[in-house]
Chains A and B, each alone.
Chain A
Amino acid sequence: DAKTTQPNSMESNEEEPVHLPCNHSTISGTDYIHWYRQLPSQGPEYVIHGLTSNVNNRMASLAIAEDRKSSTLILHRATLRDAAVYYCIPRIGNTPLVFGKGTRLSVIA
């Protein structure tokens, strides 16, 4: 499994954009980069995933570096409901997710 490095914690002001970084320098060419988040007292939920190109959906955007050794999850306008632990997970095909410790995002009103 590719190893990932994420900041332990980050803080953002409400309604500001948030950029959550992830380093995955050992990623293989077929690993997709998945992002999940876990809100307090809930199971993880899928946010977004991509392989090489930048990806957008209703929740977030994913910017993937050209060499694929890093990626950034972008929340365009943080809300209090976005306070959660965010996990960056390189994944081959449909293998089970392997979770690290993630980044705990705090959003300040």
Chain B
Amino acid sequence: DADVTQTPRNRITKTGKRIMLECSQTKGHDRMYWYRQDPGLGLRLIYYSFDVKDINKGEISDGYSVSRQAQAKFSLSLESAIPNQTALYFCATSDLSSNQPQHFGDGTRLSIL
């Protein structure tokens, strides 16, 4: 979905480095989400935010932090990257109204050596 932009698209880095993945959206949605996907598996929720002042942990938040800088921006940080955080990371957004679809970016492929 071109309205949800993730940067960078690919990143290779070393163990112990601090990494920030960025997500911006032009859909005007209040809700934003970060997921990770490991090979052969479905997506797992890391963090989500229902508005600028709201941050919630998901299923696998350990080792990650987030920042909701504005309605349109939601960043995911790995404070000290480790190899098992190598994965595909997806950002998503959804409208405030009930049962609205989530719209996903094209993902960031992160490799930690």
Query: In the complex, A72 Cα to B25 Cα: how many Å?
Result: 32
Contact partners of A101 in chain B: CB under 8 A: 40-42
Query: In the complex, A32 Cα to B45 Cα: how many Å?
Result: 19
* A97:B98 contact, CB within 8 angstroms: no
Contact partners of B107 in chain A: CB under 8 A: 41-43
Q: For chain A, what secondary structure do more than half of its interface residues adopt (helix, strand, loop), or is it mixed?
A: loop
* A93:B98 contact, CB within 8 angstroms: yes
Q: Mark out the residues of chain A between 10 and 32 whose CB falls within 8 Å of any chain B CB in the assembled complex.
A: 32
Q: Mark out the residues of chain B between 99 and 113 whose CB falls within 8 Å of any chain A CB in the assembled complex.
A: 99-107
B74 within 8 A of A: no
* A45:B94 contact, CB within 8 angstroms: no
A80 within 8 A of B: no
* B101:A94 contact, CB within 8 angstroms: no
* A99:B43 contact, CB within 8 angstroms: yes
Contact partners of B99 in chain A: CB under 8 A: 32, 49, 91, 93-94
Query: In the complex, A44 Cα to B41 Cα: how many Å?
Result: 13
B62 within 8 A of A: no
Most chain B Cβ neighbours within 10 Å, of A43, A94, A97: A43
Could you say which of A36, A94, A100 contacts B100, with CB atoms under 8 Å apart?
A94
Residues 68-109 of chain A, each 1 if its beta carbon lies under 8 Å from chain B, else 0: 000000000000000000010001011011111110000000
Residues 6-47 of chain B, each 1 if its beta carbon lies under 8 Å from chain A, else 0: 000000000000000000000000010101000011111100
Could you list which residues of chain B lie within 8 angstroms of chain A, going by C-beta atoms? 1, 4, 31, 33, 35, 40-45, 48, 58, 90, 92, 94, 96-107
